[in-house]
Amino acid sequence: MEQNNILLRGTLQELPKFSHENHGRRFYKFFLEVPRLSGAVDILPIIAQEHTVFRIDPTAGSMLTVSGQIRSHNIRQDSTRHLLIFVFATDIVAEDGEPVNEAHIEGPICRAPTYRRTPLGREICDVMLCVPRAFHRADYIPCILWGRTAFEVSDCPVRQVLSISGRLQSRTYNKVTESGTEERTAYELSALTADILDDSSGI
């Protein structure tokens, strides 16, 4: 299995809009609404090259199947750094069907895991994985693990390689800033399974 892949099927929130240009290539951005079994909805940012977007003829409300990778981009905003998480689409197909949100990433832990318990005693562990990409680049993907898996991973050292499969989810939270409280959205991989692998990355 590849080190970074994701498959989504959901509803196009609005038509793709021009995002940016890089090395002569034009990129477009849109949001995909993917329902969970619980009834909650993840609203996920998708970025794709112009030729990938223009292969289809979507309208707002269309169902799309998107395959690609989870990517990160570090930006500086108001003298602070902010990690943008998005899906880079390598293929988009307009088709109906059941919602899908399946992701798999593999890479070393790049900062110490954070373990905690909820007031009801549920075990949670936050982990940041450094997922290798071509041309000596990497994506930094926040992950959240639950239950026994959370406990086991909480003892893992930095650079331990994990293989995580689950769902990319969106989560809103309130951020207190100098100008007041702002509602923001975080994106993270909610793990269904996590395997601790031998560290053969050489990192």
Q: How many domains does one find in the chain?
A: 2
Kindly state whether residues 143 and 185 are assigned to the same domain.
yes
pLDDT at position 80, please? 72
pLDDT at position 67, please? 98
Contacts of residue 137, defined as CB under 8 A and 6 or more positions apart, other chains included, come to none
In a domain, 40, yes or no: yes
In a domain, 203, yes or no: no
Contact 17, 29 (CB under 8 A): yes
Kindly state whether residues 14 and 46 are assigned to the same domain.
yes
Kindly state whether residues 88 and 125 are assigned to the same domain.
no
Kindly state whether residues 169 and 122 are assigned to the same domain.
yes
In a domain, 85, yes or no: yes
In a domain, 51, yes or no: yes
Kindly state whether residues 51 and 81 are assigned to the same domain.
yes
Instruction: Tell me the mean pLDDT per 10 residues along the chain, length 203.
Output: 91 94 95 95 97 88 95 80 93 95 97 94 96 92 96 96 97 81 91 85 44
Kindly state whether residues 16 and 91 are assigned to the same domain.
yes
pLDDT at position 78, please? 65
Q: Which domain holds residue 165?
A: 104-197
Half-sphere exposure for 80 (CA within 13 Å, toward CB): 6
Domain of 135, CATH number, reads 2.40.50.140
Question: Which of 99, 121, 149 represents a domain boundary (last residue)?
Answer: 99
In a domain, 145, yes or no: yes
Expressed in percent and rounded to 5, the helix, strand and coil fractions of the chain are 5, 65, 30
In a domain, 68, yes or no: yes
CA distance 164 to 193: 6
Kindly state whether residues 71 and 49 are assigned to the same domain.
yes
pLDDT at position 174, please? 84
pLDDT at position 33, please? 97
Kindly state whether residues 92 and 127 are assigned to the same domain.
no
